[in-house]
Structure 1
């Protein structure tokens, strides 16, 4: 048996009660400012808007008679296309520069975490396993010294394997293995040469019908309902993405690995156990780690994912426990902080939501916060948002609240013109056509110190 089990950072000494989430280090090296990356301005990515402006300017010129510049229709068309092409080239160049900077930083023997956070916060390019490696570093799963990576990963893989064998193995396999090992030992001691296994007596506690608390079977059957709930939730996890859904061997393998992670977490943390919605938080991590193009990293994806999943939940574990809802670290306190953040940054909008339409954060932001925005955006947008969440030096929860506040600010005009029903519908089904880069820039411009900062839009 393992003497030390993996626990969340702080034990919760309270009785177990499940709630549903479905509601509708080492010090970094000194940073050299000369090496900082300037963040990509959202306007550089707003292709459609800039092209529209260009066309509008051309149209205005046309209405004025066109005599000022003497441009014909073909010339104006060419200029419009040139404007679009320049923006496309700018965006492509920015992505390549970002990829180059990130690859360079990840190739260093000593990773400058502050510099990595700055690069990753602007978005990690897809492909090449960059996001998987960066997330592991940002979560503190990998040490900053690359020389220690191989040793650390091997130890964690072995630790995860031991946990699975102890806590997830069917009791009959435990009993069979113990019996085989005992018979083999006895044969060796007694010098038996007939090759026959001796009968291994099963104790009362190891009998499948035993009700004793110490029984392997009793502990195994205790989680039957949890396993069924996990399986149901995994069937509903991103049903539009073949990686998670369907009956292919690939998707079945992925769901089985995710079930192992969620069940192991439940058994190691019986106070919290498994809560509906944890599958949604796990999905981005498992996806990113599994598609890593580095073969060794892909092989260890399940183990790496488990430990990083624990780290992500460690920042918000109290949100999953119903009995801590009213505590200083519970979900209601966090929702109150979001309300305060909005009040400081836009008191007009805050007053309209809180008093005029009475659309409280509990009605829409509960799911935003507990599920880390995994239900509000398309999957590729979720990965981009998480780049920013995990890169925040003040922690995931700090940036999460700032993103939630930015989500409100970015639809301010619609909210001010809406009543209770319209605003609730808008916030429970957040617009998919929102400019994500602009939203994240607004979130980063919001100061974490709400007592002394007011955002100007």
Structure 2
């Protein structure tokens, strides 16, 4: 006899309820997966078990630690207990399949951390690090070795560096200071003297010895320095602006393929603050460059100059004519957003908004103008830990950053979108919001980066 259940309204109602329940389970499991990833990155044990009553296509946490993505090991040296790897399989046994193209619609669940209740719970708990002392011990152990193992240092630094260790860690991550502690002092002394020689040859000369292009470039730098991080009073000090001018002009003369490009002035500021922190105490609001001797200022400038050079060496075509490297990454960002959150991508396209109109500045200034300046050094811990892989990983960070406002973006017309994306509401952000952006970027990188069809040009 033919089953007529499908024609029964009561039965259809039950089936609909069942479908809604299943969708709810999928949603909650995906959010739990994000929380698990966040916990691992922050050095926290996995917060609770994922429901296992139904098998769904969610990412296998064990696959996130791909050998092709070495930076992903950062969670394991960020204070996790030694038995984390032993319990991981039991904790996430219901997530053994990575998300594929057929599951892309599920990704939207985690793209609005500010509005999502599960992630609000995450934000309330992720700020305090119960394992700070453990992290400091691990950093201390790595840094005290005669030969620092840079891969271990990168793994630790990805999840944040203690403030007072940051100058040393950044010099090492960028390859400016050698990992061999016996050679470090001598190398730094020599490089600082080399910088002084460059300044004397390039900067400390009369305009009569400069070409017209060099004069124009110096004038542009002099105009841009007062505009650098205008909301932080420290950068309005005349001595600070003079240091920025010397660093930028010397760098530009020594790198004629690009010369000075507006935006590079922003990239010096994290280095300047970090290396000044070795000599000035308290809040940056109370710092004064006049408290330092000329020798200390010269050493700080030299460190900024060489670290800036090391950073930009890995992104040379970002600042050459027409900045093709940035244009290429903006295109990849557009493709990634389309794959992760198609409604946002479609809406922006329908409104006629091009990614270049807002994302170009993000890549050019590495989000320095988009987040509160007090969060920049934490963000740059992750940047520098990525090493040569940074340009490609920026795509995932910026996608995660943009999709923080997924729901909001879909409600705005063209003019509203332009204004919103140029003045994003991040002024009250704390470490918690930034950590969510980074952990989500990590998860998406793990899902998509090795996909054959991903970001095809």
| Structures share fold, TM-score greater than 0.5 | yes
Q: Deviations over 1:252-271 (max 9, x none)?
A: 22222211111111212234
Contact 1:344 1:453 in 2 (8 A): no
Moved >4 Å (runs of 4+): 31-35, 49-54, 293-299
Structure 1 spans left out of the alignment, 5+ residues: 1-28, 55-83, 172-215, 246-250
In the TM superposition, what is the alpha-carbon distance from 1:438 to its structure 2 partner?
0.7
Residue 112 of structure 1 corresponds to 149
SS in 2 for 1:91: coil
User: What is the TM-score when the length of structure 1 is the normalising length?
Assistant: 0.65
Residue 272 of structure 2 corresponds to 286
Label 1:451 to 1:352 Cα distance change in 2 as closer, same or farther (>3 A). farther
In the TM superposition, what is the alpha-carbon distance from 1:38 to its structure 2 partner?
5.2
- Measured in 2, the distance between the counterparts of 1:229 and 1:362 equals 24
Q: Deviations over 1:268-296 (max 9, x none)?
A: 22342212221111111111112224999
SS in 2 for 1:395: helix
Pair 1:346-2:341 in alignment: yes
Residue 186 of structure 2 corresponds to 151
Contact 2:75 2:155 in 1 (8 A): no
Label 1:52 to 1:338 Cα distance change in 2 as closer, same or farther (>3 A). closer
Q: 1:264 aligned to 250, 253, 256, which one? A: 250
- Measured in 1, the distance between the counterparts of 2:197 and 2:345 equals 51
Alpha carbon RMSD of aligned pairs, Å? 3.6
Q: Deviations over 1:328-364 (max 9, x none)?
A: xx3322211111222333333323323x223221111
Residue 101 of structure 1 corresponds to 138
- Measured in 1, the distance between the counterparts of 2:120 and 2:253 equals 56
Q: Where do residues 239-388 of structure 1 align in structure 2 (5 Å cutoff)? A: 239-245=230-236, 251-293=237-279, 300-323=299-322, 325=324, 330-354=325-349, 356-388=350-382
Label 1:352 to 1:437 Cα distance change in 2 as closer, same or farther (>3 A). same
Label 1:293 to 1:105 Cα distance change in 2 as closer, same or farther (>3 A). farther
Q: Where do residues 19-418 of structure 1 align in structure 2 (5 Å cutoff)? A: 36-37=77-78, 91-126=128-163, 128=164, 130-171=165-206, 217-219=208-210, 222-245=213-236, 251-293=237-279, 300-323=299-322, 325=324, 330-354=325-349, 356-418=350-412
Please identify the structure whose Cα radius of gyration is greater. Answer: 1
Contact 1:289 1:297 in 2 (8 A): no
- Measured in 2, the distance between the counterparts of 1:252 and 1:100 equals 39
Q: Deviations over 1:52-91 (max 9, x none)?
A: 979xxxxxxxxxxxxxxxxxxxxxxxxxxxxx8xx59x81
Contact 2:337 2:345 in 1 (8 A): yes
SS in 1 for 2:234: coil
- Measured in 1, the distance between the counterparts of 2:257 and 2:233 equals 33
- Measured in 1, the distance between the counterparts of 2:121 and 2:374 equals 28
Larger helix percent: 2
- Which is further off, 293-302 or 156-165? 293-302
Structure 2 spans left out of the alignment, 5+ residues: 1-69, 82-109, 281-291
